[in-house]
Amino acid sequence: MRIYSNGMEVVSETVREVFSRGEIVFDKTVQGKVVKKDEGYEQREILNYSYKLLDLSDSSLDQGCKEARQIFDKSYISLTTATKWFVDFFSDENPDSWWKDSPYLTKYWENFGIEKNGRMSYCYGLRVKDQIPLVIKKLKANQQARGAVISVWDRNDMQLSLESRRVPCTLDYQFLIRDDELSMVISQRSCDLVHFFTLDFCKAALLGRYIAKEVGVNMGYLVHNLCSLHAYRKDVPERYKF
């Protein structure tokens, strides 16, 4: 497992890993929608990638976002966007409001997220909102607990996937306290390196910091496990074209 001191190292080194070691693959679907290889949907993919991020401060996360913006020229990759996504964790509606300020992300979700009823098939807030206070309660009751887990993936998601419905990329968040320090593990089945990777670890870090504060302990490190980390040919800068 790679260990990184700050967000900038995470982004720069992970980009290097994907484009130096990743294999070229093609999946004919994105979020359940059929896509074509000649439309730029071939991927550079690395499997079972894991790393540890030691510094989860605003400064570290902001460095990661700046690095991603410079590499991929995506203005919406910012700590502000990640914070809006984190805030949506606490919504009991279905807004996914974090993406609405970006023309690109709005177009993306119109193509791949919004279903026939004009709504998202799910949002993170609807899935995790009620679990957050339970995790806090469990960790307050037993700081050695290994069962403080927020599940995003639902038992019915496999059936939804078979029906070409949109399902979560994140599986779960686990929280552990040792020596008065909370650390967390993110597990993802799939992650888009260009558009969402940086936002994924930033929003998760904000969630970890919130839970640490509520429990009354310091924030430790973050471990990120990714089954498939990939970048689509159409999205990568010229120097990374394949």
How far apart are the C-alpha atoms of 203 and 125, rounded to whole Å? 12
Reported as a pLDDT band with limits 50, 70 and 90, residue 160 is confident
Strands 29-30 and 218-232: unpaired
Enter the tokens of residue 67: 């690095």
The amino acid that residue 173 corresponds to is: Y
Helix H segments across the chain? 7-21, 58-72, 79-88, 103-112, 124-128, 132-141, 157-162, 197-215
Enter the tokens of residue 91: 């919504």
pLDDT at 119: 64
pLDDT at 186: 98
Return the residue matching tokens 């497992």.
Answer: 1
Reported as a pLDDT band with limits 50, 70 and 90, residue 91 is confident
Helix (H, G, I), strand (E, B) or coil at 119: coil
**Domain 2-83+130-240 listed as CATH 3.40.50.1820:** no
pLDDT at 97: 73
pLDDT at 95: 64
The amino acid that residue 139 corresponds to is: L
pLDDT in tens, 20-77: 999 999 999 888 789 999 999 999 999 999 999 999 999 999 999 999 999 999 999 9
Q: Which of 73, 102, 71, 66 is nearest to 85 (CA)?
A: 102
pLDDT at 117: 63
What count of residues does the chain have? 242
pLDDT in tens, 1-20: 999 999 999 999 999 999 99
pLDDT at 205: 98
User: Any idea where the domains of the chain sit in the sequence?
Assistant: 2-83+130-240
pLDDT in tens, 175-234: 999 999 999 999 999 999 999 999 999 999 999 999 999 999 999 999 999 999 999 999
pLDDT at 72: 97
pLDDT at 118: 62
DSSP H or E stretch at residue 25:
strand 23-26
More confident residue, 99 or 49: 49
Enter the tokens of residue 9: 């190292």
Torsion of CA 158, 164, 167, 171, to 10 degrees: 40
pTM higher than the cut 0.75: yes
pLDDT at 70: 97
pLDDT at 61: 98
Mean local confidence (pLDDT), 125-153: 96
